Structure 1
Amino acid sequence: MKKDQLLTRRRALIAGAAALGAAGAAGVLASGGGDETARPVAPAPGPDPAPQESHVLPPSDYRLQPLTGYEQVRPAPRMTRVRHQPFLRVRGRGRTMVLTFDDGPDPRYTPHILDTLAEYDVRAMFFVCGEMAVDNQDLLARMADDGHIVGNHTWTHPLLTRLKRSQIRSEMERTSDVIEDAYGERPLWFRAPYGAWNRATFQLGAQMGMEPLAWTVDTLDWTTPGTRTIVDRVEDGAAPGVVVLSHDAGGNRSQSVRALRRYLPHLLESGYHITVPRRRHA
């Protein structure tokens, strides 16, 4: 099957994913510091954090791709509102939660996480690093096929607040390019490494059509505290609207893999609806 046919198939799967895993959970994401939040729309699959455009923003300065042969020209990314705070949680109907995994994909751990999510028919978000994604594009393709959301987590996971604006742009653009090639769509979400945001990250993310998403519950699994501790942190922090941060790369993530297998069925049995956020224009 040709690459363009595969991407067409993946785009169709991505578009229908939220409807499969997020029925009746329409809502918005809440930011961390008084920033404007999105208005809920009529009942639709998944929480919908994207705000109505209230004003015209400057055109994007994202580089244009020249037309070469029969290669498709990438459309300019849709501008989003420039935020001053990242979204921290979901506000919607019912006991809605979002599971997110950072720093991958890693062929040692990501496939096991995908297997568990598939077993329970649950969708999650993966914030990937370009340097990991470029060598594991098959895992991004599987995420697309399984209906997960892939977000931008920069290329090398640097502390962005110490970089020049041009360096931040490069980190984000290169990662978005790899995601589009393997996943079939450019990312609509961005997460700053270490949760270190500044004005440039918000502005550049908006120019590339991405919304900033942080988290509510940090499992601190990167410290390898033990499987039981990770499970306790998720279950103790579970509440309507919570966004959970875990990792599928960046070190030994076997505890994170085992913890997911324990807390996911418990959350579902407790009535939580594990879903992914949906952008209105997505």
Structure 2
Amino acid sequence: MLTRRRALLAGAATLGAAGLAAALAPGSANRSASAPPAAGAPPARRPLRPSEYRLQPLTGYGPPRTVPGRTPVRKEPLLRVPDHGRTMVLTFDDGPDPRYTPDILDTLARYEVRAMFFVCGEMADYNQDLVARMADEGHVVGNHTWTHPLLTSLRRGRIRSEMERTSDVVEKACGIRPEWFRAPYGAWNRAAFQLGAELGMEPLAWTVDTLDWTEPGTRTIVTRVEDGAAPGVVVLSHDAGGERSQTVRALRSYLPYLLDSGYHVTVPRREYV
């Protein structure tokens, strides 16, 4: 009796080299024979498995412009976002606060607008449900230290602790670590820039300060935002740290005005340059 290999070799003259290669391929005994493609027709391409789709390049084949995940060490914070059309960014500091943050989130949701929330770790720890809601609704959760100290008066180890603890609680609440950082009082120093970069965060300041923490009145806050509106502007407001009902009411007024004026209110995209 011929062995399987001898039988295959004996049939090689009939099958040809391509047929022999296919017959000798691993697992060939379990495959059903199929007719060869018609002359001149390209062979059928097998469908990609789901995991292979993720490996396909989306744009071009060249190397990335930068190393993914490497955050540059800045010498000053970013004050604006790139002027891609009439784009503006709304930011809220010091929260979350269950007295005011939900109302702000409700207004943003009503107009389908995303914003940035620079949270303090001790507030985020007590209100992890609000941090999770921010992320779930598409907002960016940034790092505003744990206790809102003046960083320029702290040693490097304390600054790292303030930042790192806040990043940890944000990750615990919404599953991702912050990619943006804002120094309390806008007081930056070399250590803050270096440590922020080490923790994968870009420093973002602001262009328009509503000074809402002084409680100047709802109309004054609205006027400051509307007068300061311009492409690339970053607006600073607060959703915690004091009485913030004026901020809540002001947002309800100036947000539809900005949208009706043609501004695209959204969140910035990380760009490594």
TM-score by length of 2: 0.75
Equivalence map 1:25-174=2 (5 Å): 52-53=65-66, 78-174=69-165
Runs of 4+ in structure 1 deviating by more than 2 angstroms, as ranges, are 51-54
Note the alpha carbon deviations across 1:74-114, whole angstroms, 9 max, x for none: xxx94311000100001222110000000000000000000
Note the alpha carbon deviations across 1:225-258, whole angstroms, 9 max, x for none: 0000000000000001100000000000000000
Superposed CA RMSD: 1.6
Q: 1:195 aligns with which of 165, 174, 186?
A: 186
What letter corresponds to residue 175 of structure 2 in structure 1?
A: G
What letter corresponds to residue 229 of structure 1 in structure 2?
A: T
Separation in structure 2 between the aligned mates of residue 246 and residue 161 of structure 1, nearest angstrom: 22
Q: Is this contact kept in 2: 1:78–1:208, CA < 8 A?
A: no
Separation in structure 1 between the aligned mates of residue 69 and residue 221 of structure 2, nearest angstrom: 37
Q: 2:245 aligns with which of 227, 242, 254?
A: 254
Query: Relative to structure 1, is the Cα distance of residues 262 and 205 closer, same or farther in structure 2, using a 3 angstrom cutoff?
Result: same
Structure 1 spans left out of the alignment, 5+ residues = 1-41, 43-50, 55-76
Q: 2:171 aligns with which of 172, 180, 185?
A: 180
Separation in structure 2 between the aligned mates of residue 170 and residue 93 of structure 1, nearest angstrom: 36
Separation in structure 2 between the aligned mates of residue 148 and residue 157 of structure 1, nearest angstrom: 21
Q: Is this contact kept in 2: 1:152–1:172, CA < 8 A?
A: yes
Note the alpha carbon deviations across 1:39-69, whole angstroms, 9 max, x for none: xxx9xxxxxxxx9538xxxxxxxxxxxxxxx
Separation in structure 2 between the aligned mates of residue 139 and residue 157 of structure 1, nearest angstrom: 19
Q: 2:207 aligns with which of 216, 238, 241?
A: 216
Separation in structure 2 between the aligned mates of residue 94 and residue 79 of structure 1, nearest angstrom: 27
TM-score by length of 1: 0.72
- Higher Cα Rg: structure 1 or 2? 2
Query: Relative to structure 1, is the Cα distance of residues 141 and 93 closer, same or farther in structure 2, using a 3 angstrom cutoff?
Result: same
What letter corresponds to residue 135 of structure 1 in structure 2?
A: Y
Q: Is this contact kept in 2: 1:126–1:151, CA < 8 A?
A: yes
What letter corresponds to residue 94 of structure 1 in structure 2?
A: G
Separation in structure 2 between the aligned mates of residue 278 and residue 79 of structure 1, nearest angstrom: 15
Separation in structure 1 between the aligned mates of residue 248 and residue 151 of structure 2, nearest angstrom: 28
Q: 2:262 aligns with which of 261, 271, 274?
A: 271
Helix, strand or coil for the counterpart of 1:88? coil
Q: Is this contact kept in 2: 1:79–1:208, CA < 8 A?
A: no
Query: Relative to structure 1, is the Cα distance of residues 134 and 93 closer, same or farther in structure 2, using a 3 angstrom cutoff?
Result: same
Question: How much does 1:183 deviate?
Answer: 1.5
Separation in structure 2 between the aligned mates of residue 219 and residue 278 of structure 1, nearest angstrom: 23
